[in-house]
Amino acid sequence: MDTIKRALDAFTSHTITVVAVIFCLFHLYTSATGPLTAIEQRVIHLTFGLMMVFLATAPRKHADGLWKLADWLFCLGALAAGTYLYVFADDIAFRLGIPNQGDLISGAVVIILLLEATRRVLGWPLPIIALAALLYGFLGNHLPGVLAHSGFDTGRIISHLTLTTEGIFTVPLGVSATVVVIFIIFATFLNSTGVGQYFIDVVMASFGRSRGGPAKAAVIGSAMMGTLTGSVIANVMSTGTFTIPLMKNAGYKPEVAGAVEACTSTGGQIMPPVMGAAAFIIAEFLQVPYLEVIKAALMPAILYYVALFVFVDLEAARAGLAGLSKQEVQQYREGKQGKYYLLAPLVLLLILMIFLRWSPMRSAFFAAMLTLAIGFLRRQGRLNLRALIQMFEKAGRAMLEVVTACACAGIVIGMLSLTGLGLQLSNILTTLAGGNLLLLLVLTMLVSLVLGMGLTTTACYVILAVLVAPALVKMGVEPMAAHMFVFYYGMYSFITPPVALGAYAASGLSGSPPLYTGYVAWKIALPGFILPFIFVYWPALLLNGSWGQISQVTVTAIFGVLFLSVAIAGFFKRKLRLWERALMTVAGAALVHGSLITDIIGFGLGVAIMAASHLMVKKQAKLKSA
């Protein structure tokens, strides 16, 4: 959903700037010195986020007059409730389970304002899920069978959700208030100092001249940018504004250009090191080092982009598309010259996290400071105080999606823990699967695609991690593979109709029908759909195993996505017949299970069809030249 921005008067505009600057400075300070206690850090984080939402967004279009007054009251209400919870945090903890009237009023205000703020920033899907969870807490005693529970009164629900770290202030908001927020500030600094444009210049200079060059550049560029934006829609709207027109000018159909951008932008959310901020939350849920998540996510993400790269190359070959002209590529080469220093903050970040093993929070702080230093010291486009304040405001606004998503998801988590429904849903899925892992994976895939529709990256993962992943773990799937499985399919909901938000955003830029663009995007990304199945059956794809196992599964997975990409494109050296495409699909699917027999069948079948196609084209070329 596009947030409804309101026309701002001077006083409101200045207030937003001040709040955003304090918001960012607070998080920079705690990143450098260490966070406050869990509840204090999260309360301050959410309070600033709610204030920003009510100041900067409108409840609906053409909301003026009394609505503006109401939003100022909402803003002050958020400040008052947040201040109460912060000041009396120790007293609340001391009398836990016996809340007084002030506790319950403040908690109720936080819940109501959070639901409205989330609706404004993210649309209706997540607030509806949260409201359903609240109703379940009130009315569960009237439900039948496994869904029934004893029911809870208003005081108990408010107390559980707002006075403990089991509800709104649980793990997702904790990660948002410590790690995610500093990475958002860092990403804002990077984009404001030209790193994003530098990535685009590099990939366009590298791939622009090859066949389908703009599409290949879109694949690589969006992979890089996606790690910075943390949002599929933001990635589409930032890189797609120029990659989609370039692809169309190169000869790609509008729906293909939009679909390719949607797929590549979605892939940015599964690409380390940030993964749309979900990497940090995955680490917290699994209680593993952040680097373990990055290691596990690396190979599947690379294979996803290999599949996309192969598709756009085959599509260009099938349509006889050329790359950019020499003059156009030269402009990109000139744009990147002498700007290698822009990569220094990213290099520092990797050194601090990987080699020195600093925490992500502290590493991102120093990388952000280096980015600012570069911005103030360089000659061209040098930063000044006004530009710095604008960067703080931009970062503050960028946090709103994550803050509201993580906090509102906390309502769902809190109600699941209070009622025990999370365990029941896992039992239901396991029962339906009847002990069959493949059937459970298919059910989990479908549930993840449905529950992920319309949610942001972080909210999507949190909901799925609580509701769905436990069923896979219960069936014996490795926890890392289970959480990656649901995360991947949650992200694929951005390109899977009927609610393919990433594809619909790209269709607006490409001028193609939204639903058809979503269908094309889903088709292009199909090779990526087999990857989660592969790493469930073969955890070595998550770099968990011996080098022999990792090498074997990597090679198998590469051929699997290659065969499926050929089948989807319907082209290899020549246009493939329908039965050949069907056999290539079978060849790719056969490489999922991991048994020696299916591997031999899949590999032999795929290579045979590709070899036959190559020989046929070669023979036809000889006949023409004779």
Domain ranges (residues) in the chain: 10-166, 174-386, 545-626
CB 594 within 8 A of CB 537: yes
Q: Which parts of the chain have pLDDT scores under 50? A: 1
Neighbour-count burial for 297-330, b at 16+ CB within 10 Å, e otherwise: bbbbbbbbbbbbbbbbbbbbbbeebebbeeebbe
Q: Provide the pLDDT for residue 227.
A: 60
DSSP at 5: B
Token pair belonging to 382: 């040098």
Residue 575 φ/ψ, nearest 5 degrees: -70, 125
The residue among 334, 365, 335, 331 whose CA lies nearest residue 348 is: 365
DSSP-derived secondary structure letter, 214: H
Backbone phi, psi, residue 572, to 5°: -155, 105
CB 291 within 8 A of CB 546: no
pLDDT at position 127, please?
Answer: 92
Written as one letter, the residue type at 378 is R
Helix axes 385-419, 10-33, angle to 10 degrees: 70
C-beta separation of 460 from 490 below 8 A: yes
SS3 of 443-478: the string is HHHHHHHHHCCCCCHHHHHHHHHHHCHHHHHHCCCC
Report the pLDDT value the prediction gives residue 402, as an integer from 0 to 100: 82
**CA 621, CA 626: separation in Å to the nearest integer?**
9
**Tokens matching residue 442:** 């298919």
- Residue 106 structure tokens: 């403040």
> What is the torsional sign of CA 159, 162, 168, 171?
negative
Q: DSSP class of residue 575? A: E
- Distance, in Å, from the CA atom of 213 to the CA atom of 220, rounded to the nearest integer, reads 11
Q: Which of 328, 218, 216 is nearest to 266 (CA)?
A: 218
Written as six digits, the tokens of 301 are 């993400």
Distance CA 94, CA 101 (A): 15
Half-sphere CA count of 100, side-chain side, radius 13 A:
10
Give dist(CA 554, CA 534) in Å, integer.
10
pTM given for the model: 0.78
Query: To 5 degrees, how large is the angle CA 63–CA 66–CA 67?
Result: 40
Cis-peptide, bond into residue 527, ω within 30° of zero: no
Q: Do 17 and 389 touch, CB atoms closer than 8 A? A: yes
Backbone angles phi, psi at 323, to 5 degrees: -95, -165
Which of 513, 492, 100 has the alpha carbon at shortest distance from 263?
Answer: 492
Contact indicator for 232, 504 with CB cutoff of 8 Å: no
Please count the other Cβ atoms lying within 10 Å of the Cβ belonging to residue 2: 8
Give CA separation, 443 vs 179, 435, 485, 486, 523, in Å: 33, 12, 12, 11, 20
| Residue with the two structure tokens 């349509």 | 319
Whether 368 contacts 345, CB under 8 Å: yes
Phi-psi region of 476 (alpha: psi -120 to 50; beta: other; left: phi over 0): left
pLDDT digits (tens, 9 = 90+) for 360-415: 889 889 999 999 999 888 877 788 999 999 999 999 998 888 889 889 988 988 99
541: number of Cβ within 10 Å: 28
Q: CA 165 to CA 38: how far, in whole Å?
A: 8
